[in-house]
């Protein structure tokens, strides 16, 4: 796939209606991107795809780049190992042989961690799953082979599912006690009889993901190379939605059974992707629908919707307060909110060609008609 980008776009003379091209930059990759959007001021490009994209031409001329120097770290093993308790985390990073303390590049804020060696790409870099206390954290080199980092959690108690958001190069080492606690907490989400953890052969088809690891990349216009890269791993891309016309489009990713909506913030380099909405269980629901063709949500995130190739559209509303008193029979607790689900069957056998949602209405285009469903009254 090839993408062309015109920074600065065109200059025009209204009286003569003439146009001139100032710059043209081309990117290529071996896949079709899931998401591609320009930063509002034209200073960068954001791209989500299953395979990497690179700049290949500028104004029609090929771009030659030197090969990056590889790290002397075995690719088959995890780059770092980490453990956690309710109060803190311990990270052990493998270092190339002969690295001294002066060559270590370490940076820690409340929300971000960066660990690397001078002259190489960072070994760990990105947004932490939750906040930590930098003043109570520390690092040291152990046995001239690894760097050990101790991070103090800002909020004690909850266990982290990952150290750095989207980073799959590390391995979490858990004790038997921690594993038992997690299974107990997930018990209410399973069937009546809790089953043992499944293996890859027992997964449903809707839970499978492609072998190629997807990534979300921000390309800088001047440098013409990625300045921020997030490994999406198993966070399956679901759809794109325009929430604010002055901002870049949001992208929705599957996180376990849920669907999370992320708003790109290129003006905030340290917090470039902001979590703005969650649709509970939508990730599992959409994956289980074999005939699904389109997915979207309202710009104000009041509901999400899926449609099949023919006839049917599903609407999933956000939880809303209930007027009557309801109790969960299994847990014995009062339920204050209920999320409603609806299905609409179109009076048409024509294939669905387009799908778009506003805050009040859902537009469904077939080969013969445009169907408008009124979803919200306001």
Here the CATH number for the domain that contains residue 125 is 2.60.40.790
Q: What is the mean pLDDT of the chain?
A: 81
Query: Which contacts qualify for 68-74: CB closer than 8 Å, 24 or more apart?
Result: 68/121, 69/119, 69/120, 71/96, 71/120, 71/121, 71/123, 72/96, 72/97, 73/123
Three-state DSSP state, 184: helix
* 263 in Cβ contact with 256 (< 8 Å): no
Do 357 and 239 fall into the same domain? Answer: yes
Higher local confidence (pLDDT), 283 or 324: 283
Using alpha carbons, select from 291, 319, 290 the residue that is nearest to residue 304. Answer: 319
Q: Which residue has the tokens 């299994």?
A: 330
Q: Which residue has the tokens 């604010």?
A: 244
Token readout for 278 is 């969650």
Within 64-123, where are the H helices? Answer: none
Band (209; pLDDT cuts 50, 70, 90): very low
- Which range, of 30-39, 259-268, 281-290, 323-332, averages the lowest pLDDT? 323-332
Alpha-carbon distance of 83 to 159, in angstroms, equals 10
Do 315 and 343 fall into the same domain? Answer: yes
Q: Which residues pair with 232 in a beta bridge?
A: none
**Overall domain count for the chain:** 3
Asked if residue 362 belongs to a domain, the reply is yes
Do 57 and 114 fall into the same domain? Answer: no
Residue 240 pLDDT = 94
Is a pLDDT exceeding 50 seen at residue 223? yes
Is a pLDDT exceeding 50 seen at residue 188? no
Do 57 and 93 fall into the same domain? Answer: no
Alpha-carbon distance of 217 to 47, in angstroms, equals 5
Band (260; pLDDT cuts 50, 70, 90): very high
What does R_g of the chain's alpha carbons equal in angstroms?
24
With vertex at residue 263, the alpha carbon angle to CA 239 and CA 338, rounded to the nearest 5 degrees, is 70
Do 112 and 151 fall into the same domain? Answer: yes
The CA-atom distances, in angstroms, between 233 and each of 82, 215, 229, 254, 376 are 18, 7, 12, 10, 35
Calculated CA dihedral for residues 213, 47, 223, 7, nearest 10 degrees:
160
Asked if residue 357 belongs to a domain, the reply is yes
Do 124 and 252 fall into the same domain? Answer: no
* 307 in Cβ contact with 356 (< 8 Å): no
Range of the domain at 129: 80-168
The CA-atom distances, in angstroms, between 77 and each of 31, 80, 170 are 27, 9, 9
Asked if residue 74 belongs to a domain, the reply is no
Asked if residue 363 belongs to a domain, the reply is yes
Token readout for 177 is 């006690």
Do 245 and 336 fall into the same domain? Answer: yes
Kindly give the pairing relationship between strand 80-84 and strand 170-172: parallel
Task: Report the residue count for the chain.
Answer: 378
Higher local confidence (pLDDT), 113 or 7: 113
Residue 201 pLDDT = 37
Token readout for 286 is 């959409």
Asked if residue 152 belongs to a domain, the reply is yes
């Amino acid at each position: 796939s090839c993408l062309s980008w015109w920074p600065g776009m065109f200059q025009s003379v209204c009286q003569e209606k003439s146009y001139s091209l100032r710059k043209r930059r081309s990117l290529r990759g071996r896949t079709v991107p899931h998401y591609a959007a320009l930063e509002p001021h034209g200073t960068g490009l954001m791209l989500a795809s299953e395979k990497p994209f690179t700049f290949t031409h500028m104004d029609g001329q090929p771009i030659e780049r030197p090969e990056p120097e590889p790290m002397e770290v075995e690719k088959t093993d995890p780059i770092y190992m980490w453990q956690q308790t309710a109060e803190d985390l311990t990270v052990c990073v493998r270092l190339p042989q002969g690295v001294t303390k002066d060559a270590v590049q370490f940076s820690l804020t409340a929300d971000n961690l960066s660990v690397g060696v001078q002259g190489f790409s960072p070994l760990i870099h990105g947004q932490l799953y939750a906040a930590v206390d930098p003043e109570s954290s520390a690092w040291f080199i152990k046995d001239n082979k690894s760097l050990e980092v101790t991070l103090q959690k800002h909020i004690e108690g909850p266990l982290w599912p990952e150290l750095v958001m989207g980073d799959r190069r590390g391995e979490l080492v858990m004790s038997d006690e921690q594993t038992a606690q997690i299974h107990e907490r997930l018990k209410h989400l399973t069937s009546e009889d809790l089953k043992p953890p499944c293996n890859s052969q027992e997964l449903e088809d809707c839970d499978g993901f492609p072998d190629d690891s997807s990534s979300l990349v921000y390309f800088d216009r001047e440098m013409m190379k990625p300045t921020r890269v997030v490994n999406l791993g198993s966070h399956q891309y679901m759809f794109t939605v325009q929430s604010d016309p002055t901002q870049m489009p949001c992208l929705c990713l599957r996180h376990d059974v849920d669907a999370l909506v992320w708003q790109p913030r290129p003006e905030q380099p340290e917090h470039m992707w902001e979590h703005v909405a969650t649709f509970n269980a939508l990730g599992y629901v959409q994956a289980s629908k074999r005939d699904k063709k389109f997915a979207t949500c309202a710009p104000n995130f009041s509901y999400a919707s899926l449609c099949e190739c023919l006839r049917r559209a599903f609407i999933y509303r956000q939880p809303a307060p209930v007027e009557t008193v309801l109790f969960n029979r299994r847990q014995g607790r009062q339920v204050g909110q209920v999320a409603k689900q609806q299905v609409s069957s179109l009076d048409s056998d024509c294939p669905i060609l387009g799908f778009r949602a506003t805050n009040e209405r859902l537009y469904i285009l077939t080969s013969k008609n445009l169907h408008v469903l009124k979803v919200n009254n306001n």
